Structure formats: structure tokens, C-alpha cells
Amino acid sequence: MKQLENQIAVVTGAGRGIGRAIALKFASEGADVVCVSRTAENSEKVAAEVRALGRKAWALAVDVSDAAAVSAAAEKILADCGKVDILVNNAGVTRDGLLMRMSDADWDAVLNTNLKGAFLFTKAFTRGFVKQRSGRIINVASIIGLIGNAGQANYAASKAGLIGFTQSVAKELGSRNITVNALAPGFIDTDMTAALSAEMRTELLKKIPLNSLGQPEDIANAALFLAGPGARYVTGQVLTVDGGMVM
């Protein structure tokens, strides 16, 4: 039997990169997947890939920072799927810049998507998790939330906040058999890192003991562990997947 057989997973930011990899990994292990992305085109594209693996999939275009939109999406998901077993809060954006030049709009955009979005989706499904006395919540943070990074004060604050959020919600929901954990990816080979110059990439690799960028599948494998039966007794933790960069 596959690890996630007959389970329903909701993955935000599923349209590409890490979110797409998680959606497909979960589907390969038997889960039906709700693919949430900002655009209908991206969410439907990944949903089609899930269906090609023989699983059910739903595609939703949602601005995760919009409370009304998230509430409506959650209602639709529960009506269409009947339940949710796994929630992956992966949606994230960057608006990099030095603090002294950072606009209020760039600060708000990152905090609202990366942190408020996780709050809204978690809140939307918590009642269902509590009622069924089971659930897995996985928040995709970042090593930047652990160590900071020049030019990313907004991103670091959002990811550090997500780690604190993870630990607090884990304490609130633990008695109901609901686990809440965070993943802290290092530098992963996605659209976000594709913009790095060759020189920047070379300098970055010097700081990574495994001497390579990670792949989205590396994060998907870690997410599968946290969602699967082997992590039954793991909650409130931050699993760093970074090639040894932070130790």
C-alpha cells in the first residue's frame, strides 16, 4: 500500500518548483491533490500532471493573502473533496532589496503571501482537522528564516515568522493528533535561483558542503516523510534540507 493512499492533500504554490514537486510526489504515493496557484493556467497544468499519475486532482486559482478568497476556496475544497488530510503551505514570493530602500508595498507583499497566507489556509482547515482528530500541516519556510540574508529582511521575517507559527500551532493542535512541522529548504534549483549569475552561483556553492544546489524533489521527499506514517511522532520541528549549509 502506498504511504498516502486515499488521502486528500492541499498544496499551495503548486504551480511550479517546490510546490509542483510536492504535489506530484504525493500523487505518486496515492494522494489526491488540490493544486492551488495564483493563476488558473499553472494550477490546471499541475493538476493535469497529477491526473496522469492516476489520481484525482482539483485546480484552484487563489490569492493566498486574500482572506475572502481563501475562505471561499476552503469551502469549495471541502464540498468537492469531503475532507482534507494534509495541508502544505508553500506559496511564497520575494521582493528583495536593502532595508533602507524597501518600500512598504514590498514588505507587505512578502509578509502577506508567505506568512498571512499560511495563517489563512491553516485556520480554514483547522476545524476539520480537529473534528476528524487527524491531520498533517507542513509549512515551507527557508534557511533564510534561520540565518537571515542581506537584502531579504522581508523574506527572512516572513519565514522566521512561519517557523514560530509552526511551533505555536503544533502546541495548540497536538492533543488532537494533528502534526505541524516546517521545512527549511536551502538554495534549490528553481526559478528563484535561476536568476543568479555564474559568479554568484560559484560563491554560493563554496558555502554548501555537498557542493550543489538542491532539487525540488529533495524538498518533496522531505515533505513526504512529514506527511507519511513514519512521522507520526514528529511535530513542531524544522527540517532543514540544505546540503549542510546551516549546521
Task: Report, at the CATH architecture level, how domain 8-240 is classified.
Answer: 3-Layer(aba) Sandwich (3.40)
Known catalytic membership, residue 155: yes
DSSP 9: E
**Predicted local distance difference test score (pLDDT) of residue 81:** 97
Among the options 119, 155, 165, 187, which is catalytic?
155
Query: Which cell numbers hold the place of 162?
Result: 512561519
Place of cell 493544486: 35
Query: Which cell numbers hold the place of 39?
Result: 493563476
CA angle 49–195–18, rounded 5-degree value: 30
| 35 contacts 17 by C-beta, under 8 angstroms | no
Residues 163 and 177: their CA atoms lie apart, in Å, by 20
Query: Which cell numbers hold the place of 20?
Result: 509542483
**Predicted local distance difference test score (pLDDT) of residue 36:** 98
Place of cell 471541502: 78
**Predicted local distance difference test score (pLDDT) of residue 31:** 98
Residues 90 and 190: their CA atoms lie apart, in Å, by 14
**Predicted local distance difference test score (pLDDT) of residue 170:** 98
Task: Delimit the domains of the chain by residue range.
Answer: 8-240
Q: How far is CA 101 from CA 73, 144, 147, 156, in A?
A: 36, 20, 21, 16
Question: For residue range 152-193, what is the model confidence (pLDDT) as tens digits?
Answer: 999 999 999 999 999 999 999 999 999 999 999 999 998 777
pLDDT along the chain (247 residues), means of 10: 96 97 98 98 98 98 98 98 98 96 98 98 98 98 97 98 98 98 95 79 93 96 98 98 96
Nearest to 90 by CA among 146, 37, 152: 37
**Predicted local distance difference test score (pLDDT) of residue 197:** 81
